[in-house]
Structure 1
Amino acid sequence: MESVRAAFRDECERLGEVLRGVDGADLDRPTDCRPWTVRELLAHVRTGAGRLVDMLAAPAPPRAEVDAAAYYGAAKFTPSVDAARVDSGRREARELDGPALVADFDRAWRAALDAVDAAPPGRVVRTRHGDAMVLGEFLRTRVVEVGVHGLDLAAALARRPWLTPTAAEVVAGLLTGGRAVPPGLGWDRLTLIRKATGRAGLTDRERAVVDAAGFRWLSFGG
């Protein structure tokens, strides 16, 4: 839990530092998370980073039903769920101007971290999909959301990826199920994350190695 908490804090702090240097034109740039602009994707990330506040204010389910990997099951992200997610990001982006949106991201993740710190050990929460998860497992998904969408924001802003080492370790561990990456691939953690989340393509040779290793990529929807 402590390493996941540190990863969430580090990645949110780093993203906040970057965002304080963007202007209106930057926020209106398109992203590869179509049809979102930088502003709209940031609104989505802000909401995801702060989601734990309301979850921890709700009654705790009696027991956990899924882990972080199962949260990203393909069945969860149906066309209707994805459409609602896209519309929500676009709607929320219209509610605040650029500086206010950046400030609200900072407020949201800090409030979420305070709620996490106040929660008892082993606390179970219910996700927006209706699944019950141990708090630490759900926090892993928040590291994925901020870290992976940080790669999308970096690409849209023409910046070098700023993924922090702590977040990269958490995300890579979730993507591989804790297994070692086949040495024949020669990937570092950033390359693994980009390839496994569809941010970079696989060559035929890489796909064959991945298939032979039995890796199963997760499905991402937000």
Structure 2
Amino acid sequence: MRTTHDAARAAFRDECTALADVLRGLAPADLDRPTGCPPWAVRDLVAHVHTGAGRLAGMLAAPAPPRAEVDAAGYFGAAKFTPQVDRDRVDSARRQARGTTGPAAVAAAFDRDWRVADAAVARQSADRVVRTRHGDPMALTEFLVTRVVEVGVHGLDLAAALGREPWLTPTAARVVTALLTGGRAVPAGLGWDRLTTVRKATGRDPLTDGERAALSAAGLRLLAFGG
């Protein structure tokens, strides 16, 4: 089952609002904490998420491709994340982060730009097609799903770096889980909630041999980013 446009947009709004609230409460030293996404510190990871969340405004200002050719799962395929693309992504975030000041300014800039992106989405029809940074034509709804993944999953990384409980919102958890599982339910015997499913599928928590066996027996292959 694919995520609807309204569900993807609601999840994007909820998760961005939650992250902005967290950023407003940070101390200046928090921005320099290391993260589980080396070589990024918190300020670098926030810059990366900020860029990703705000990217839609520019994409929607460009001409629409005639048809979509890639979905959200395909966006995260290994072919899209070559070593050079990864280096550019890492370096870009670090360059952007150099211009940041304190948490209040970081939070205000993020809050402004995700809202500009959301307003741009609101002016478009659900069947609008955009061109991704990889050059692929993609349905707006599918690209919104990737934005929810970026903000939500990296929110887990930020929570870990800050020593906080994850703030993944219910709406975002549903969207991310649906993508990672292809819309299928995980085996009930695993006892996973959505947060656990996201953490396991994205490598934030390792899969045990028993969990791998249960997934295999159910014929469920979790989407692996870059693999």
Question: Which of 8, 17, 20 is residue 16 of structure 1 equivalent to?
Answer: 20
Say which SS state the counterpart of residue 220 (structure 1) adopts. coil
Aligned equivalents of 2:126, 2:222: Cα separation in 1: 30
**Matched positions, count:** 221
Aligned equivalents of 2:126, 2:98: Cα separation in 1: 38
The answer to whether the Cα contact below 8 Å between 1:175 and 1:196 also exists between their aligned partners in 2 is yes
Aligned equivalents of 1:68, 1:138: Cα separation in 2: 6
Alignment of 1:1-222 (within 5 A): 1-98=5-102, 99-220=104-225
Give the ranges of 4+ consecutive aligned residues of structure 1 lying more than 6 Å apart after TM superposition: none
Letter in 2 for 1:63: R
TM-score, length basis structure 2: 0.94
The answer to whether the Cα contact below 8 Å between 2:126 and 2:141 also exists between their aligned partners in 1 is no
Q: Structure 1 residues 75, 214: CA separation in 2 closer, same or farther (over 3 Å shift)?
A: farther
Give unmatched runs, 5+ long, in structure 2.
none
Per-residue CA deviations over 1:13-66 (Å, capped at 9, x if unaligned) read 011111101011111000001110000000000000000011000000000001
In angstroms, what is the RMSD of aligned CA positions? 1.1
Give unmatched runs, 5+ long, in structure 1.
none
Aligned equivalents of 1:214, 1:81: Cα separation in 2: 32
Identity of matched residues, %? 71
The answer to whether the Cα contact below 8 Å between 1:74 and 1:218 also exists between their aligned partners in 2 is no
Say which SS state the counterpart of residue 125 (structure 1) adopts. strand
Per-residue CA deviations over 1:51-105 (Å, capped at 9, x if unaligned) read 0011000000000001111111111111111111000111100012133222111
Letter in 2 for 1:200: D
Aligned equivalents of 1:208, 1:161: Cα separation in 2: 27
Aligned equivalents of 1:100, 1:157: Cα separation in 2: 18
The answer to whether the Cα contact below 8 Å between 1:29 and 1:157 also exists between their aligned partners in 2 is yes
Per-residue CA deviations over 1:170-208 (Å, capped at 9, x if unaligned) read 000010110011112110000000000000011110111
Aligned equivalents of 1:65, 1:40: Cα separation in 2: 31
Letter in 1 for 2:38: R
Deviation at 1:214, TM superposition (A): 3.2
